Amino acid sequence: MAKTETLVAPTNISQKMLSLSSSAAAAVRKSSHIQTLLPSSSPPRAVVIILGHLGASPEKLNHYAEKLYLRNNCAVVTAASPPSRFMLNKSLQPTVLVALQDATQVLETTPPSTPLVVHLFSNGGAFLLEEMIRLLKQEDDSSNFDLCAARHKIGFQFFDSCPCFVRPAWNFDGLTSAFPHPTFSVVGRTMYALAASWSLTVWCTLTLSLHRPMRFWNTVLHENDVCRNHVYAYTTTDLATDAHQVDKLIKHLREELSYDITTFRYEDSNHCRLLHDHEQEYTKAVDDALEAAIQRGSQST
């Protein structure tokens, strides 16, 4: 049985990584469902940060942790975007800082070869990853020593139903073969896509974030070099994530940047339902990626 602990960061980590008071960090943990789950035996084989979809409950995050990583004797730090900050387009940096702090603390108790894994769901998780990428790519100075150590330990990133291409009205380029749902009628697909596009346009306008969609996509397209081992699980029947855009992203990362990418592209299921509908293949994908990351870590030390 996994042990659930809220760990208090050592003084050196809190000074280097956080500008949050202890009370502010506690508030972030509560609003972002951040908790540390430790396996029954130690040391853990890997430390995993699970970035849940928008609205993910602590129970759902714990389910992901138990089903995918705790059974593999991994420590897990869970986190999710606070809905209010996400919808108001406020900075998600506090959530990422506290999650990285907790993961780094666990890493300090493990052998040097222990990898860090990031597993994310939907754009609720992808927006957190975007913020994490920015933090991990800060300059290698003494004030960011722990961030840099975490960056060099990332063994793989697992993308579930994301990243979702944010398509406002000014960037609407018509329907693709995979979005929003290939079995919808042409009229139904067009109305759905236009409604989604204009909803995002209103959101970007009201939150004064007109450049937000392009900035996000540029990050996942060009700046996510903190780890070049990716796994993508997605489906053409997703009502939120355009599989065609994920296809294009994967093609770019493979052919232009030589990333090592494993894909699981389905034609059934729906958004963030792949673990439920394809559990055996999904868990094997996690197991295989985990074993490969552990092996790479042992070879590099």
The string of pLDDT tens digits covering residues 212-252 is: 778 898 999 999 999 999 999 999 988 888 899 999 999 99
In this structure, the number of other CB atoms found within 10 A of the CB of residue 241 comes to 27
Locate tokens 């958004």: which residue? 271
Mean of pLDDT values over 279-287: 98
- DSSP type of residue 210: T
* Conformational region of residue 150, where left means phi above 0, alpha means psi within -120 to 50, and beta covers everything else: alpha
DSSP E strands, 89-204: 116-121, 154-160
Q: What radius of gyration, in Å, describes the C-alpha atoms of the chain? A: 19
Locate tokens 């430390």: which residue? 47
Distance CA 285, CA 220 (A): 22
Mean of pLDDT values over 31-40: 95
Distance CA 234, CA 236 (A): 7
Higher pLDDT, 201 or 233: 233
Distance CA 288, CA 260 (A): 14
Give the per-residue pLDDT at 84. 81
The neighbouring-strand residues paired with 36 are 5, 77
Q: What is the mean pLDDT of the chain?
A: 84
Give the per-residue pLDDT at 299. 87
Mean of pLDDT values over 110-136: 94
> Given strand 75-80, what is the order of strands in its sheet?
3-5, 35-38, 75-80, 47-52, 116-121, 154-160, 229-235, 260-266
Give the per-residue pLDDT at 260. 97
Q: What is the largest CA-CA distance in the chain?
A: 59
- Give the N- to C-terminal CA distance of the chain in Å, as an integer: 31
User: For residue 275, with 0-12 CB atoms within 10 Å meaning exposed, 13-18 middle and 19 or more buried, which class applies?
Assistant: buried
Distance CA 29, CA 219 (A): 26
Which candidate, 23, 159, 33, 22, places its Cα nearest to that of 85?
Answer: 33
Mean of pLDDT values over 251-272: 96
Alpha-carbon dihedral 247, 248, 253, 256, rounded to 10 degrees = 140
Tell me: pLDDT of 3 over 60.
no
Give the pLDDT confidence of 134-189 residue by residue, as tens digits: 888 875 544 444 676 777 889 999 999 999 887 654 455 555 555 656 666 767 76
Distance CA 72, CA 66 (A): 9
At 51, which helix (H) or strand (E)? strand 47-52
At 50, which helix (H) or strand (E)? strand 47-52
Contacts of 175 (CB under 8 A, 6+ apart): 186, 189, 190, 193
Which candidate, 179, 163, 173, places its Cα nearest to that of 220?
Answer: 163
Of 74-78, 194-198, 255-259, give the lowest mean pLDDT range.
194-198
Q: What is the pTM of this model?
A: 0.84
Give the per-residue pLDDT at 227. 94
